[in-house]
Amino acid sequence: MEEQIAEMALKIAALEEAAGGGGGAATTNTVFAETFYYLTIPLMIIIHAGFLAYEMGASRLKNVLSSGVKNILAFAFIIPTFYFFGWWVYFGFPTGWDFAEGPNGISGAAFANSIAWGWGESAQYMGPNIADNISGVFFGAFALFAATTASIMSGAVIERIQTVGFVILAVILGSFAWVVAAAWGWHADGWLVQDYGLHDFGAAGLVHAVAGFFALGVLINLGPRIGKFNADGSANHIAGHNMPLTVVGLMLIIVGFWGFLMACVVPPGEAWSWFPDKFSTIYGTPITLSALSFNILMGVAGGIIGSWVLTRDPFWMMSGALAGIISVASGLDIYYPALAFIIAFSAGLLLKPLANILERMGIDDAVGAVTVHGTIGLYGLVMLGVFASGFPALQGAAGEAPTISLMGQLVGAGVFFLLGFVPGYVCSLILRILGMLRIPEGAEIVGMDRVKVPAEGYPEGIPAPGVVLNPAE
């Protein structure tokens, strides 16, 4: 009995030591930091749920399920391909095509080989490991960024693209093209960051613009839907079958964006953190969750109001909300909220006229993805150069760390445009030559669901609204 009491007393003492001493605090911090990142993953899956609803609502009845299948498959193929090679690209590419190690020592082919392949010694960091709680959580967050890029492209190409051709394009975009952009412009060793002071905290350029202009490259080769344009070049509006579903989908994307932007923040106090005691951006510059909260909300509001002025259309208003966030995403860490509102308002105003210009050029972007993500993404990147020149782009003192400049942001914008557009155009051209890009005309006319999906979206049909004669009905 006395032995048992003594043993219990020792256990209690050990527990008290753990709870009150440094070990307990460290454990608490580690658990918090890992959980912080882990929670961004399901939040970002809400982005995908939103894009799914948005695309299906924007499709006509005859294509509603095939649009859903395409979007779901993009997610499913991005995850393993990002595991196979996308994660390696992020760590291998930062310094450019020489794959050398950067100044922070966390990049280059040798480093990537040691942590990001699913075989050999590096496999220990690519699977369950009792001594490594964080690699899989980081991987998951980045894989969901990748899935977001594929979803952005997915909406633009609905109602006429082949499923396998689309999946191949999604993998090239999600597991390679945007990852190169992230390595160059997001990674602390990235040459755009080190040499040009590029600052793109919330990935307006390296996720949104790359995905938007990748979609543009694909759309040029894919061509418009049958009936979109008349012989004289004028455009017809092809309405989706369910506007409320589309608008709710857009709102879900906004919800998921909180997870997306949360994943752009680095919690403190861990071996992989920039600071022992404060949150930082991925560049190691300080940020607070308060800054995110102020500026995301003001960005959403400004974008909605700007779009409402010119359109009064809930689809464009919610697209304006997205555009509002994207237009201020690069500088969510340092914008003053009222300035974020003004920039987002201007993005909301610009949105529809820019989409109209694209349509007049003969581009059938079914959901406005090129404009919302591509053009507004670059607009946001450049706006940060206008307003934030002189701020540190990276952790460190003057002379050691680059500062934000308009020229640096313009260079980044040009690089991200090319990183999106060129692979999108070239790869879709190859697929078109191989006959893997566009569905045959007859199948497009009859509807892709009858060709691709052994199910019906609305087997009992959608009741047609009757003529309301009595206003009280």
Interacting residue ranges for another protein, rule: CB under 8 A = 285-286, 288, 291, 298, 302, 305, 308-309, 331, 333-336, 338-339, 341-342, 345, 387-388, 390-392, 395-398, 401, 403
Rounded to whole angstroms, the Cα distance separating 194 from 400 reads 10
Q: In the complex, what is the shortest distance from the CB of residue 249 to another protein, in angstroms, rounded to a whole number? A: 25
Q: In the complex, what is the shortest distance from the CB of residue 228 to another protein, in angstroms, rounded to a whole number? A: 28
> 395, exposed or middle or buried, with CB in 10 Å at 0-12, 13-18, 19+?
middle
Q: In the complex, what is the shortest distance from the CB of residue 469 to another protein, in angstroms, rounded to a whole number? A: 17
Q: In the complex, what is the shortest distance from the CB of residue 256 to another protein, in angstroms, rounded to a whole number? A: 26
Closest CB to another protein among residues 235, 339: 339
Closest CB to another protein among residues 117, 336: 336
Buried b (16+ CB within 10 A) or exposed e, 157-181: bbbbbbbebbbbbbbbbbbbbbbbb
Closest CB to another protein among residues 213, 341: 341
Closest CB to another protein among residues 237, 312: 312
- Write the CA distances from 354 to 196, 237, 371, 372, integer angstroms: 28, 16, 7, 9
Whether 199 contacts 192, CB under 8 Å:
no
Whether 318 contacts 300, CB under 8 Å:
no
As given in the structure block, the two tokens for residue 409 are: 């942001």
Rounded to whole angstroms, the Cα distance separating 353 from 452 reads 35
Cross-strand bridge partners of residue 266: 280
Closest CB to another protein among residues 8, 338: 338
Closest CB to another protein among residues 28, 288: 288
Rounded to whole angstroms, the Cα distance separating 382 from 366 reads 26
Closest CB to another protein among residues 114, 395: 395
Q: In the complex, what is the shortest distance from the CB of residue 250 to another protein, in angstroms, rounded to a whole number? A: 20
Q: How many CB atoms lie within 10 A of CB 368?
A: 26
Q: What share of the chain is helix, strand, coil (3-state, %, to 5)?
A: 65, 5, 30
Q: In the complex, what is the shortest distance from the CB of residue 138 to another protein, in angstroms, rounded to a whole number? A: 24
Q: In the complex, what is the shortest distance from the CB of residue 341 to another protein, in angstroms, rounded to a whole number? A: 4
